[in-house]
Amino acid sequence: MNLIFLGPPGAGKGTLAARVVEILHIPHISTGAIFRTAIAAQSPLGKKVKAIIDDGKLVDDATTIALVRERLMQTDTHAGYILDGFPRTIAQAEALAEFSAVDKVINFDLPDSAVLERLSGRRVCKNCGLNYHVIFNKPAQDGVCDSCGGQVYTRVDDREEAIAKRLAVYREQTEPLIGFYRDKGLLVDVDASPSVEKVVENFKAVIA
Ligand code: AMP
C-alpha cells in the first residue's frame, strides 16, 4: 500500500509512521529525516539545505523530488511505503503522480494551538529519529533515547522563531494538497488530537 501522511508539523505523522511500519511492514520515508541525516553527515546535500531547514522554509522542489524519486526506486518499496513530509507542494504532488501511484492520503488534522504546544515540547533522538515530548512522552532517562540510547535533543527548527514560520508555510503551500487529493478521491481524514493509541486505532479503521 502506497501511503502519504499529510498534516501540519507536529501532527504526529512521524510517531504514527513508526507504529504503522510494524503493522504494515512497509518503509517509512521521511524527507525531513533524510535531510537531517545529510546535514549531520555534512554531505553536499546537507550543506545545501541546512540554512533553509534551520530557518523553517521549504527546500526547493527539484532537489526534493529528485531525492524521493531515487528513494522510491529502491526495492524495499515494492510492497508499499509511507511518505511522511512529501509532497509538500502541488508541484511535488504532480511530479510524484508521474513516477508512483498513491493508494491513500491520510490527512492528520490538528489546530494551530495544539501544533504550537506539541512542537515547542518536542524532542528527537539524534540517532534513530524517535520522537519524545517534554510533558506527554518523556524518555525514561533524561536526554537518552529509550530505544537506541542515542542523544535526545531539540531540533533547531523546533525553536519558537522557526515554528511559526513552518506553520505559515504549511498553511500556505501544503494545505492546498488536501483539496488536490480529495478531488482525486484519495483523501481520508484522521483527527490527530487524541493519544497516539487512539490515533493508531483510527488509522487502522480508515485503511481497513
Ligand atoms: P519535517 O521533518 O517533515 O518537519 O521536515 C523538516 C524540514 O525539512 C522542513 O521544514 C523543510 O525545510 C524540509 N523538508 C522536508 N520535506 C520537504 C519537502 N517535501 N519539500 C521541501 N522541504 C522539505
Q: pLDDT tens across 100-158, in order? A: 999 999 999 999 999 988 899 999 999 998 899 998 889 999 999 999 999 999 998 89
| Distance of CA 166 from the midpoint of ligand 1 (Å) | 9
Structure letter (DSSP) for residue 193 = S
Average pLDDT over residues 23-40: 95
Question: Which pTM was predicted?
Answer: 0.90
| Distance of CA 121 from the midpoint of ligand 1 (Å) | 19
Question: For residue 10, how many other CB atoms are within 10 A of its CB?
Answer: 27
Query: Above 90 in pLDDT, residue 161?
Result: no
How far lies 37's CA from each of 10, 46, 69, 71, in Å? 19, 8, 18, 14
Mutate to test the pocket of ligand 1, among 6, 36, 59 (most ligand atoms within 8 A of CB): 59
Catalytic residue among 36, 118, 122, 123: 122
Q: What is the pLDDT of residues 41-50, one digit of tens each?
A: 999 999 999 9
| Distance of CA 34 from the midpoint of ligand 1 (Å) | 9
Write down the pLDDT at residue 24.
93
Which residues lie closer than 8 Å to 178 by C-beta, 6 or more apart? 6, 107, 187
Query: What domains can be seen in the chain, in order of their start residue?
Result: 2-207 (3.40.50.300)
Point out which residues pair with 108 in neighbouring strands. Answer: 190
Structural contact between residues 147 and 128, judged by C-beta atoms closer than 8 angstroms: yes
Of the pLDDT bands very low, low, confident and very high (cuts 50, 70, 90), residue 187 is very high
Query: Above 90 in pLDDT, residue 160?
Result: no
Average pLDDT over residues 13-24: 92
Q: What is the pLDDT of residues 66-84, one digit of tens each?
A: 999 999 999 999 999 999 9
By residue count, the chain amounts to: 208
Nearest CA to ligand 1 atom 15: 32
Query: Above 90 in pLDDT, residue 7?
Result: yes
Nearest CA to ligand 1 atom 11: 58
Residues contacting ligand 1 via CB (< 6 Å): 9, 30-32, 35, 52-53, 56-59, 64, 85-88, 92, 157, 166
Per the structure block, which three cell numbers stand in for 171?
498553511
d(CA 205, CA 190): 10
Structural contact between residues 96 and 68, judged by C-beta atoms closer than 8 angstroms: yes
Mutate to test the pocket of ligand 1, among 4, 28, 35, 123 (most ligand atoms within 8 A of CB): 35
How far lies 8's CA from each of 113, 164, 168, in Å? 12, 11, 10
Torsion over CA: 31, 153, 167, 11 (sign): positive
